[in-house]
Amino acid sequence: MNNSSFSIAMVERDTGLSKDVLRVWERRYGFPCPLRDAHGERQYPADQVERLRTIKRLMDQGHRPGKLLVASPDELAALTPKRSPKRTQSIKAAVDETIEALIEPIRQHDAGAYLQQMQQRLARQGLQAFVQDTVAPLTWRIGLAWEEGRIEVFEEHLYTELTKRLLRQAIAGLPPGGGTPRVILTSVSEEAHVLGLLMVETLLALEGAECIPLGTQMPLLEIARAADAHAADIVALSFSVAFPARRIPGLLEQLRRLLPDRVALWAGGSGVRKLSSTPGIEIIHDLPQTLAALADFRGGRHNRG
Partner DNA sequence: AGTATTGATTTGTCCAGGACAAACGAGGTG
Partner DNA sequence: CACCTCGTTTGTCCTGGACAAATCAATACT
Residues with Cβ within 8 Å of 239's Cβ and at least 6 positions away in sequence, in order, are 187, 188, 191, 248, 267, 268, 269, 270, 271, 272
127 three-class SS: helix
Work out how close the CB of 241 gets to DNA at its nearest, in angstroms, rounded to a whole number: 14
User: Interface mask (CB under 8 A) for a copy of itself, residues 126-165, using x and -?
Assistant: --------------------------xxxx-xx-xxx-xx
Q: Which does 67 bind (CB under 5 to 8 A by kind): a copy of itself, DNA, none?
A: DNA
Candidate residues 133, 190, 207, 296; the one interacting with a copy of itself per rule CB under 8 A? 190
Work out how close the CB of 64 gets to DNA at its nearest, in angstroms, rounded to a whole number: 3
E-strand stretches of 8-130: 35-36, 42-45
DSSP assignment, residue 189?
Answer: T
Residue nearer to a copy of itself on the CB measure, 112 or 300: 112
Q: Which stretch, 74-82, 210-218, 277-285, 291-299, contacts a copy of itself (CB under 8 A)?
A: 210-218
219 touching DNA, by CB under 7 A: no
Residue nearer to DNA on the CB measure, 11 or 232: 11
239 three-class SS: coil
DSSP assignment, residue 265?
Answer: E
User: Is residue 14 within 8 Å of residue 6, measured between CB atoms?
Assistant: yes
Residues of span 47-86 touching DNA by CB under 7 A: 59, 64-67
230 three-class SS: coil
215 touching DNA, by CB under 7 A: no
Q: Which does 225 bind (CB under 5 to 8 A by kind): DNA, a copy of itself, none?
A: a copy of itself
The C-alpha atoms of residue 278 and residue 289 are separated, in whole angstroms, by 16
42 touching DNA, by CB under 7 A: yes
